[in-house]
Chain A
Amino acid sequence: MSESGIDAERRSFNVWALTPSLIVLFAVAVLPAIYLVVTSLTPFQLTTPGSATDFSSPLRNYGLLPGDPRFVNSLLVQAKLSFWSVLFQVLIGMGLALLLNVPSRFVEFARTFFLIPMVLPPIVVAVIWKLIYTPDISPLYYVAQALNFTMPALTSSVDFALTAIVIADTWEWLPFTFLMVLAALQTIPDEYSEAALVDGANKLQIFWYVTLPFITPILVISGMFRLIDSVKAFPLIFLLTSGGPGTVTEVTNYYAYLLAFDTNEIGYSSAVTVVMLLLVCGISLGLVWTGRRREALA
């Protein structure tokens, strides 16, 4: 059999082998997304018969979005939440990884300890922080009281509510960046920093000129993952603030949830969700493109 014949046979085998997986993937991932897009083109309301199949004004929901102050506000809140939580997670995660990148039994135990928040179910994380933020039962407030320090109610304060969510989100997902950076640090050959040390570089210079270039791609990748994931901070918002006070912590997915399940505006909620989906896809593609460009330049 000729080489091209073998290739054709292999390609045919690959297609047949992949087909069942592709069918399953299509059914569980693509079809619901298509249904979401279809629903967003209707004024679907649970209690309005026929509204699910009313395509008379398909772009109506999308046309209403820019004029909806809560939607616009939710995007801004999401941007603030994502920016600060991802920034803290990357910086603190990197700091911890640098600190704990030493061979020691105690440090190994400490590394395991730091991973706990990430493996907890999100609702447990939310309950933990609910306890911490509730003034009459929180140890934080007992300590503050003992020190004669007056603390505001964090989750119902306009100035602190979003920060409270950022802190809880950072606590939960910090281990992810920590783990990624630690793995990257352990791949750096010792020779580079030893050579730099011989050349008279101090620790800061070694970090800046040797370590950082090595771990930058990992920082970008973990930041990208966290950025995409930060859009899913739903349990924290749901349990800690319900989007309040007012709309201070109302992120886009929480607004979409309220529309769909509180006020039953399924069609409009789907439009909000589609926009969110497009934004997340756009950010992801942007980051991937930036990563590739960096690689090409390197």
Chain B
Amino acid sequence: MKNASRASSITRRKLLKASAAGAALAAFPAPLIAQTKPFAGVTLHGASFQHRFFTLLQKYIPEFEDQTGMKVDLQLSAFPVYNQQANLELSSGGSAYDFVNVTFILAARWVAAGLLANLDEFTGDANLTPAEWNPKDFVDGAQVPYRDAKGATYGYSWEGGAMLMGLSRMDLMEKKGLKIPKTFAELQQVCAEINGTDGVAGITSFQLHHWNLPPYIQGFGGNIFRNPPGDIMPTLNTPETIQGIEFYANLLKSAPKGVLTYTEDQARQSLLTGRSNIFIHSSSWVTPILLSDESKVKETSRVVRSPAGPVHDYPASNSQGLGIPRNAKNKKAAWEFIKWALSPDISMRLVKEHGHSSICRRSIITSEAYRKLNTVNGQDLGALYLDVLELPAKGQNYMAYRTVKEFPIVGDVLNKAFEQVATGQLPAKDAMNAAQDQAIAALRRAGTQL
């Protein structure tokens, strides 16, 4: 009887507990589940070009999948392949991707054509974006390409490319009594004087002339277009542009043989091994002379601001962003991913755990941890990087030429014309007059009103 009573009471207790749990679940089932795995069952499709940032991010993605319950399918392709795929996918109104890399050179085209979702709708909603995510923390210069004319934002930058000058053989320069060049004229002199000393070339570069060349054109007061993004009449044959072309072609006389067909890797290797003294390119290509184990010139290297032209001091800079296609199926989930991937936490982990420094969050770049990791031989690389990355947002956006949709057409013409000048096929004036005509014809053919 006792046993029977105990059994009966346990059963009753169990029943009461079960009823209470059942009632609770019936009252609040969805919110409870949603708070734990808000995107359970969602597969998020994203695409970008291959970059170290994504390779590192992939290590953390399982954490994100655990937090949210969604599965991330990130497709990484070679840069030109990705751009072609994304261009086709976005412009045809496809919905294959939930988030995409917004490539710097295509950003204006995609934003202007309305192919991307307005991210202000997400950052403006406190339920979707907590205050500490702080969209204003992104370096303004890096954000410029992802805004439309009204100031709406269509991407957030994950990578910044700030043009700096690396010098691998300061020992040689000191022997010759040469100082770090601060102007174009000094740069020309240093390159010419070092070239050939101990088998070292004065300068190295690579075949993407429409990246390397514009800072010289702008330094002399020229530009690629008259006043981009509003006025995109090419200005390839102005006296200033011709001066820039001649200067850069002359500079490359101090470069290794075959520099016109060099890839970025070849140029970087040439610098790292001390076969070339100067390389002016984005920080991630230049700073390895101080930071990489491969560098054979750590003791004799310096990284500084690139020299200023007689009219402007416009080192090139760029950024790459993450955005959401207008027709994406899982916009909220995609925003969750972007928010996480570009969060201060992940950014700091990339810096601390992998030494990945080319991020675009100001709070991280100016942090003590970042500064400590990126100060080498007394050189604060972070401060240099931030300084250059900020420039396009101060005053006139001098990098606007690169983000207008007409740039690929004119850039291609510019590349060909520069090679004609550098190889002596044509005098600069003739080559650039022909280039101007070709650029205008090509733009008109493509339907641009000039």
Give A contacts to B, CB under 8 Å: 43, 45-49, 51, 64, 67-70, 133-136, 152-158, 240-248, 250, 258, 261-265, 268
A265 and B423 within 8 A (CB): no
Shortest B279–chain A CB gap in Å is 14
- Residues in B whose Cβ lies below 8 Å from that of A49: 91, 113
A43 and B261 alpha carbons, distance in the complex (Å): 32
> Does A263 lie within 8 Å of B408, measured CB to CB?
yes
Asked whether, in the complex, the Cβ of A47 is within 8 Å of the Cβ of B441, the reply is no
A68 cross-chain contacts in B, Cβ below 8 A:
441
29 CB < 8 A contacts A-B:
A45-B446, A47-B109, A47-B113, A68-B441, A69-B438, A70-B438, A134-B258, A134-B261, A134-B266, A135-B256, A136-B270, A153-B257, A153-B259, A153-B260, A155-B261, A156-B258, A156-B261, A241-B261, A244-B415, A244-B416, A246-B416, A246-B420, A246-B423, A248-B425, A258-B412, A263-B408, A263-B442, A263-B446, A265-B445
Enumerate chain B interface residues (CB-CB to A < 8 A). Answer: 80, 84, 87-88, 91, 109-110, 113, 115, 207, 256-261, 266, 270, 275, 405, 408-409, 412, 415-417, 419-420, 422-426, 434, 438, 441-442, 445-447
B423 contacts A156, C-beta separation under 8 Å: yes
Q: Is A263 touching B113 in the complex (CB atoms < 8 A)?
A: no
Known contacts A135-B257, A153-B258; is A245 also within 8 Å of B87 by CB? Answer: no
> B88: shortest Cβ distance to chain A, in Å?
6
Q: Which one of B207, B275, B434 lies within 8 Å of A136 (CB-CB)?
A: B275
The complex places the Cα of A68 from the Cα of B437 at a distance, in Å, of 11
Out of A46, A69, A244, A263, name the residue touching B261 (CB < 8 Å): A244
With A136-B270, A156-B258, A156-B259 as known contacts, state yes or no: A245 contacts B446, CB within 8 Å: no
The minimal Cβ–Cβ distance linking A250 to chain B, given in whole angstroms, is: 8
Complex Cα distance, B409 from A264, in Å, reads 9
Q: Which residues of A contact B80 (CB under 8 A)?
A: 261
Of all chain B residues, which has the CB nearest A157?
B423
Q: Which of A43, A136, A242 has the most CB of B within 10 A?
A: A136
Name the residue in A47, A70, A153, A242 with the highest tally of chain B Cβ atoms < 10 Å from its Cβ: A47
User: Cβ of A245: which chain B residues have Cβ within 8 Å of it?
Assistant: 260, 419-420, 422-423, 425
A136 contacts B256, C-beta separation under 8 Å:
yes
Tell me the nearest residue of chain B to A241, going by C-beta: B261
Asked if A47 contacts B405 (CB within 8 A), the reply is yes
A46 in contact with B88 (CB, 8 Å): yes
**Distance to closest chain B CB from A234 (angstroms):** 14
CA distance A68 to B207 in the complex (A): 24
Contact B424–A158 (Cβ < 8 Å) = yes
Identify 19 new A-B residue pairs, CB closer than 8 A, beyond the known A246-B417, A261-B80: A43-B446, A43-B447, A46-B87, A47-B109, A48-B447, A64-B445, A134-B261, A136-B258, A156-B259, A156-B423, A158-B424, A243-B416, A245-B419, A245-B425, A246-B416, A258-B412, A263-B408, A264-B446, A268-B445
Find out whether the CB atom of A158 lies under 8 angstroms from the CB atom of B425: yes
Distance of A152 Cα from B424 Cα, bound (Å): 14
Residues of chain A within 8 A of B412, CB atoms compared: 258, 262-263
Write the nearest CB–CB distance from B307 to chain A, whole angstroms.
25
Q: Chain B residues with Cβ under 8 A from A261's Cβ? A: 80, 84
Q: What's the dominant secondary structure at chain A's contact region?
A: loop
Closest A residue to B87 by CB, please name it: A46
In the assembly, what is the distance between CA of A2 and CA of B87, in Å? 63
A residues within 8 A CB of B423?
156-158, 245-246
Flag if B261 contacts A242 (CB, 8 Å): yes
Do B91 and A46 have beta carbons less than 8 Å apart? yes
* Nearest 7 CB-CB pairings of A with B: A153-B258, A246-B420, A156-B260, A153-B257, A245-B419, A135-B257, A245-B423
Instruction: Report the nearest B residue to A68, measured CB to CB.
Output: B441
A69 to B415, CA, bound (A): 16
Choose among B91, B260, B446 the residue that contacts A244 (Cβ–Cβ < 8 A): B260
Contact of A155 among B258, B409, B417, B425 (CB under 8 A): B258
Residues of A within 8 A of B109 (CB): 47
Q: Contact check, B256 vs A264: say whether CB atoms are below 8 A apart.
A: no
Q: What separation, in Å, do the CA atoms of A242 and B416 have in the docked complex?
A: 10
CB closest chain-A residue, reference B259: A156
Checking B434, B438, B447 against A51 with a beta-carbon cut-off of 8 angstroms, the contacting residue is B447
Q: Out of A46, A152, A246, A250, which one reaches B425, CB within 8 Å?
A: A246
With A and B bound together, what is the CA distance between A152 and B260 in angstroms? Answer: 12
When C-beta atoms are compared, the residue in chain B nearest to A243 turns out to be B416
Central interface residue in B408, B438, B442, B445, by most chain A CB within 10 Å: B445
Q: Are B447 and A242 in contact (CB under 8 A)?
A: no
**A residues near B446, Cβ cutoff 8 Å:** 43, 45, 263-265, 268
- The residue on B at minimum CB distance from A250 is B416
Residues of A within 8 A of B426 (CB): 246
Tell me the complex Cα distance, A239–B415, Å. Answer: 16
Q: Please give, as numbers and ranges, the residues of chain B lying within 8 Å of A246 by CB-CB distance.
A: 416-417, 419-420, 423, 425-426
Give complex CA distance A226, B405 in Å.
40
Chain A residues positioned under 8 Å from B110 (CB to CB):
47
Smallest Cβ distance from A138 to chain B, in angstroms? 9
Query: Are A152's CB and B257's CB within 8 A?
Result: yes
Q: Which residues of A contact B408 (CB under 8 A)?
A: 262-264
Chain A residues positioned under 8 Å from B207 (CB to CB): 242, 244
For B417, the closest partner residue in chain A by CB is A246
Q: Which residues of B contact A154 (CB under 8 A)?
A: 258
Contacts of B261 in A (CB 8 A): 134, 153, 155-156, 240-242, 244
Instruction: Please name all residues of chain A whose beta carbon is closer than 8 Å to the beta carbon of B87 when the two chains form the complex.
Output: 46-47, 264
Q: Could you say which of B207, B260, B417, B438 has the most chain A C-beta atoms within 10 Å of its C-beta?
A: B260
Question: A51 to nearest B CB, angstroms?
Answer: 7
Instruction: Tell me if A135 and B419 are in contact (CB < 8 A).
Output: no
B86 to nearest A CB, angstroms? 10
Cα distance, A241 to B417, chains bound together (Å): 15
Q: How far is the CA of A266 from the CA of B425 in the complex (A)?
A: 30
Q: Return B347 CB to nearest CB of chain A, in Å.
A: 32
